[in-house]
Chain A
Amino acid sequence: MISNQAPDGSATTASTPGTGAAMLPRGTLLAGRLRTTNIGVLREVALLPVLVLLIVVGAVVSPVFLTVTNIAGIGQQISALGVVVVGESLILLIGGMDLSLESTFGLAPMIAAWLILPVSAFGSGAQISPYLGLLVLLAVGAAVGLVNGVLIVKGRLNGFIVTLGMTIVLAGLQNGIVKAQTLFNLPKAFGYLGSAYFGQVPVSLVVTAIIFVLVGLFLRYHRTGRAIYAVGGNAAAARAAGIKVERVKIGVYIAGSMLAAVGGLMEAGRVSAVTGQQGYGEGIIFSVFAAAVIGGVSLKGGRGNMVGAASGVILLGVVQNILDLANVSSYWIEAIDGAVILFALFLARIVGGESSAEEK
C-alpha cells in the first residue's frame, strides 16, 4: 500500500540532516558566488548601453559634443546635481525621502554669502571671513537635516509632508533674508569650488567624483554603511539585531542635507552668484530623484549604490547637453527632457530587472 519511491541517496545529501553548507560541493558554492556577482555587475552597468547610445547620438548631432571643453562643461554642470544625488540616495537607502534638499541647496549658500557680503552688496554687513562662511554653509545643512530627521524619526511624522513643508519654509527664508535680491561679488574662496579648474578639469567635477567614490566605499565596506542598507531593507530586523535605527536615520538626514549644501556651494560658484531661484525656484528636486531612480536606487529603501546613482547623473547631464547642442527650442526642451527621463527609467527597468521596481 505504501509506495515509498526512495530516490537515490546521492542526490539528497544537501538537505539530509547532519550535512549542510560545509558539505556542499565546492562547485556549487563557486557557481552561486558567480551568479550573485554577475547579477550585481549587470545591475550596476545597466545604464551603460543607454549612455553609449546617447554619446553616439551626441556625436552625430554636433561635432562639438566630443570635445574636451564640452565634456568638461558637462562635468561642471552636473557636479552640483551629483552631490545632491549622493545625499538623496543616502536618504532613499534608509527608506526615507527628502524633498527639501532642493531648498537647502539654495538656502545654505545664500545664508553664508549674506553673512560674508557687505550691506552695499545686499549682505548682512557681518562680513565674516569666507572660510567661516563655508563652515556656516555646512552648519546650515546640518541644522536642516537635524530638524527633518528629528521630526520624521522621533516625531514619527510623514517624511514626504515634513520635507515638503520644509522645502517651502526654507525657500521663503532664502528670499526673505535678502529681500529677493541676488548676491554677486562672491569672494574667491567661496566661489573656488564651483568655478576653478585643474588644467581643463573643473575642480567641482573632481570633488564630486571623490565624494561618489568615498560614499560608495563607505556604503560597501563601513559598518555604518552596511547598517544603512540593513535599516532601509528591514528596519525591524535591524533594530532586533541591535542596530541603533533612529540614530542611523537621523545621521543620514543630516549627511544628506550637508551634501545638498555643498552642491549649492558648487552651483553658486559656477554661476558666480546666489539667486533667490537657486534650488527650489529651478525645481531641481525632480532631476535629483530622476537621477537616483534611473540609477537603480529604490524608492522603498535598502537597494541601490553609488555606481548606479553616478550613471544616472551622467545620463541626465548628457541628455541636457545634447538638447542644448541640437538647438532644441527652449519652449520644448523641458518636454523632451522629461520624455527622455521616462524612457531612461523604462530602459533601466528592462535591463536592470527589479532594480527600480520592487517586488514586495
Chain B
Amino acid sequence: MTSPEAALVDMTGVDKRFGSTLALSGVDLSISAGQCLGLVGRNGAGKSTIVSILSGLEAPDAGTVRFAGGPAPRVGDVSRWREWIATVFQHSMVVPDLSVAENVFLGGADRFLHWRDMRARTREVMRDWGYDIKAETRCRELTVEQLQIVEIARALARGARCVVLDEPTAALEREAVRRLFTRVRQLTSSGVAVLYISHHLEEVFEICDDVCVLRDGKRVLTAPVADLSKDNLIVAMVGAVPAAAGAASAACKATESSVRATEEPVLVVENLTASSTAGKLAGVSLRVGPGEVVGVTGLLSAGVATLGRAIAGAEGHDGGQVRVRGQIIPAGQRAAAQRAGIGYIPEDRRADGFVAHLGVAENATMTITGRLADRLGLLRPRSRAAAAAPVTAALSLVSAGPGQPVRELSGGNQQKVTVARTLVHDPGLIVAITPTRGVDVASKALLLESLASAARRDGAGVLLCTDELSDLVICDRVIVLVRGEVFTEFTEPAFDRDQLIVATEGITVDGTAEEAAQ
C-alpha cells in the first residue's frame, strides 16, 4: 500500500516469544515519512511488544527491523536508536526533579553537558514547533500534557524521524487531546512518521492515515482508515462481533429503573468537602440505592476521582459525611470502609490495584483473607484458588494458573484482577474509578457488565466515577461534577453524549456558560 522503497521504519517477519507465549508471530509493519499509522488491538495482542522492539529495548527472535533501508542499530544502543525512532510511553519517562532542558537531552550522546548549549537547543526546538514550555522549568511543575510535549521535544531534539505515541491520550482532557492532534498533524506534515497506539478507535479514525490491527500476535489487517468502518475495525480486533457491549446495555435497559427512591439507600453522601491536588470537592451530596448504578463524570480536575477515593476511604475528607447503610464511615480509613462493605476499584491499577509478584488467586482474594482463614488464621492456597476461580472465570481472566504472578499478565487481565479482588468480597457498595482505562473493547464490555450485574443481580450499589463517557451506558443516573460541585444530574438513560460533554464543561443546555460558584 505504501511505496516500499521509501519506508522509514520497516519491520518484517518479526517473531517474539516470552517463555511459552508467542507474543508476535511474523509481523510486518512499515511506516513512511509523513505517515501516521494507527496500531490497534486488544490487550495482549502484542502492541507493547512491538513498541519494545521498535524502541530498541528488545530484540526480535526472528525477522528484521530496518530504518530507511539500512539495518537498525544494535539492540540496547539506545542512543543511536533514538536518532531514528523515539517513543513517548504511556507512563511518563521524564525525571521530575530535572529541568526541561536536562530531560530533553537526558541520555544524549554528549559526554559532557554544555548547559548553555543544552538550554539554547531546547529553546530552539520549543520555538520551532511552537511549544510553550521554558527550558529551565523543573518537570515536577508541569502538567501531564506538558510532560508529553517534553517527551516529544526530546524525540525531535535528537533528530528522530519517527515518533511512537503509546496511548498518548490516556491521561489527557478533551481540549488537550485536540491540541495533541494538532501537534501530530504538524509532525506528519513536516515529514515525521508517527506510530499512534490507542484503544480509542474514534481517535484512530480522526488522526491516522492507515491502521494496522494486531490479534494474538499476528497482523490481521493493514488498510487506509478511509476504507474502513468502526465495525470493520472491531471485527478485525476481536475476531467476532462483540455482542457483550450490546448485551450490557440491553440488560441495563431491560431492568426497570424502578422507584428506588423509596428504598433505603446504600450510600448517602452529605455535603462532602475535600482538598486534594487531583481536584477538590466543595460540598457534594448524593445517594445510591441498592441495585442502582450511578455514574459520576466531569473534567479531570472536577473532583470525580477525589469523590470516589473519599467515599472508599482511600483519601481523607475535610467535612461532610459518608454513610453506608446508615453507618458513618470514618474519613480516610480504607480498612474500616471495606469492613462497612465498600468495595473499591482504584484508578491506577499499577499503583493501587495489585501486588505484582504475587499470584492471581492471592491478589483476587486479598480482600477476603479473613473469611478464608481458619480459626488460627491459616490460609490454604487451595481454598484461595477455589474462592478466586468463580470470579476470575466470570471475568474471563486469562492466566496460566492461579499462581501466576500478576506482573506477567497483560494490562486488561491485570485490571480484571483488580475488579475480581473487589467483587469477591460481595460489597454492598462498589466504588469504581475509571475501571476501563487502558482496556480493550471486549474486556471493557465484560468489566462493565460485571459491575452492572453486581447491581442488578446482587443488589449492590455501584458508583462509577469515570471520564470515559461510553462507560456510562450501564448507569441509571449520571451526576456531572464541575469544579467539585454537582452541576447537574441526568436521570433518564440513554444519556446523550453531546449533552454530557456540554454539561462537563459547566455549560447549561441553552448554551450560556454558567460559572459554578466556588
Q: Does B associate with A?
A: yes
Chain A residues with CB under 8 Å of chain B are 1-7, 9, 11-12, 14-22, 24, 28-29, 31-33, 35-37, 221-224, 226-227, 229-230, 233-234, 236-244, 302-303
A358 to chain B, nearest CB (A): 9
| Given known contacts A3-B221, A18-B396, A32-B401, A238 and B377 CB-to-CB distance under 8 angstroms | no
A-B contacts besides A3-B221, A11-B216, A222-B378, 12 pairs, CB < 8 Å: A7-B216, A17-B445, A20-B393, A32-B401, A33-B401, A33-B403, A229-B358, A237-B352, A239-B334, A240-B346, A240-B352, A241-B338
Q: Is B344 a contact partner of A240 (Cβ separation < 8 A)?
A: yes
Q: Is B396 a contact partner of A222 (Cβ separation < 8 A)?
A: no
Q: Is B221 a contact partner of A36 (Cβ separation < 8 A)?
A: no
Q: Is B378 a contact partner of A17 (Cβ separation < 8 A)?
A: no
Q: Complex formed: what's the CA distance from A9 to B397 in Å?
A: 20
Q: Which one of A1, A230, A241 has the greatest number of beta carbons of chain B within 10 Å?
A: A241
Please indicate the chain A residues that have their CB under 8 angstroms from the CB of B239 in the complex. 6, 9, 12, 16
- Which residue from chain A places its CB closest to the CB of B371 in the assembled complex? A223
- Which residue from chain A places its CB closest to the CB of B342 in the assembled complex? A242
A217 to chain B, nearest CB (A): 8
A305 to chain B, nearest CB (A): 13
Q: Is B355 a contact partner of A237 (Cβ separation < 8 A)?
A: yes
A227 to chain B, nearest CB (A): 7
B462-478 residues at the A interface, CB under 8 angstroms:
none
Stretch from B81-89, B160-168, B361-369 that touches the partner: B361-369
Please indicate the chain A residues that have their CB under 8 angstroms from the CB of B314 in the complex. 239-240
A235 to chain B, nearest CB (A): 9
Please indicate the chain A residues that have their CB under 8 angstroms from the CB of B42 in the complex. 15
- Which residue from chain B places its CB closest to the CB of A247 in the assembled complex? B335
Please indicate the chain B residues that have their CB under 8 angstroms from the CB of A15 in the complex. 42, 44, 216, 398
A-B contact count (CB 8 A): 161
Q: Which of B344, B376, B395 contacts A20 (CB 8 A)?
A: B395
Please indicate the chain A residues that have their CB under 8 angstroms from the CB of B44 in the complex. 15
The answer to whether the Cβ of B357 comes within 8 Å of any Cβ in the partner chain is yes
B292-343 residues at the A interface, CB under 8 angstroms:
312, 314, 334-335, 337-339
Chain B residues with CB under 8 Å of chain A are 1, 19-20, 42, 44, 215-216, 218-224, 227-228, 232, 236, 238-240, 242, 244, 312, 314, 334-335, 337-339, 344, 346, 351-359, 362, 366-367, 369-370, 372-373, 376-380, 389, 392-393, 395-401, 403-405, 421, 442-443, 445-446
Q: Complex formed: what's the CA distance from A242 to B346 in Å?
A: 12
Q: Complex formed: what's the CA distance from A33 to B400 in Å?
A: 7
Chain B interface, >50% SS class: mixed
Q: Is A5 a contact partner of B379 (Cβ separation < 8 A)?
A: no
Q: List 30 A-B contacts (CB under 8 A).
A: A2-B221, A2-B223, A4-B221, A5-B218, A5-B219, A12-B216, A12-B239, A17-B445, A18-B396, A20-B392, A20-B393, A21-B398, A24-B398, A33-B401, A36-B401, A36-B403, A222-B376, A223-B370, A223-B378, A227-B369, A230-B366, A234-B355, A237-B353, A240-B312, A240-B314, A240-B346, A240-B353, A241-B338, A241-B366, A244-B335
Q: Is A29 a contact partner of B401 (Cβ separation < 8 A)?
A: yes
Please indicate the chain A residues that have their CB under 8 angstroms from the CB of B359 in the complex. 36
A152 to chain B, nearest CB (A): 19
Please indicate the chain A residues that have their CB under 8 angstroms from the CB of B238 in the complex. 16-17
Q: Is B373 a contact partner of A223 (Cβ separation < 8 A)?
A: yes
B400 to chain A, nearest CB (A): 3
A1 to chain B, nearest CB (A): 5
B95 to chain A, nearest CB (A): 14
Q: Complex formed: what's the CA distance from A15 to B237 in Å?
A: 11
Q: Complex formed: what's the CA distance from A238 to B358 in Å?
A: 12
Please indicate the chain B residues that have their CB under 8 angstroms from the CB of A31 in the complex. 20, 400
Q: Is A221 a contact partner of B380 (Cβ separation < 8 A)?
A: yes
Q: Complex formed: what's the CA distance from A156 to B297 in Å?
A: 34
Q: Which of A5, A234, A242 contacts B335 (CB 8 A)?
A: A242
Q: Which of A17, A230, A239 contacts B242 (CB 8 A)?
A: A17
Q: Is B338 a contact partner of A242 (Cβ separation < 8 A)?
A: yes
Q: Is B377 a contact partner of A12 (Cβ separation < 8 A)?
A: no
A19 to chain B, nearest CB (A): 7
A232 to chain B, nearest CB (A): 9
Please indicate the chain A residues that have their CB under 8 angstroms from the CB of B244 in the complex. 17-18
Please indicate the chain A residues that have their CB under 8 angstroms from the CB of B312 in the complex. 240
Q: Complex formed: what's the CA distance from A354 to B380 in Å?
A: 27
Q: Which one of B339, B373, B400, B446 has the greatest number of beta carbons of chain A within 10 Å?
A: B400
Q: Is B370 a contact partner of A302 (Cβ separation < 8 A)?
A: no
Q: Complex formed: what's the CA distance from A12 to B369 in Å?
A: 35
| Given known contacts A17-B446, A243-B366, A238 and B355 CB-to-CB distance under 8 angstroms | yes
Please indicate the chain B residues that have their CB under 8 angstroms from the CB of A3 in the complex. 221-223
Q: Which of A227, A234, A241, A244 contacts B356 (CB 8 A)?
A: A234
| Given known contacts A1-B224, A36-B403, A229-B358, A21 and B393 CB-to-CB distance under 8 angstroms | yes
Please indicate the chain A residues that have their CB under 8 angstroms from the CB of B369 in the complex. 223, 226-227
Q: Which of B334, B357, B396 contacts A21 (CB 8 A)?
A: B396
A258 to chain B, nearest CB (A): 19
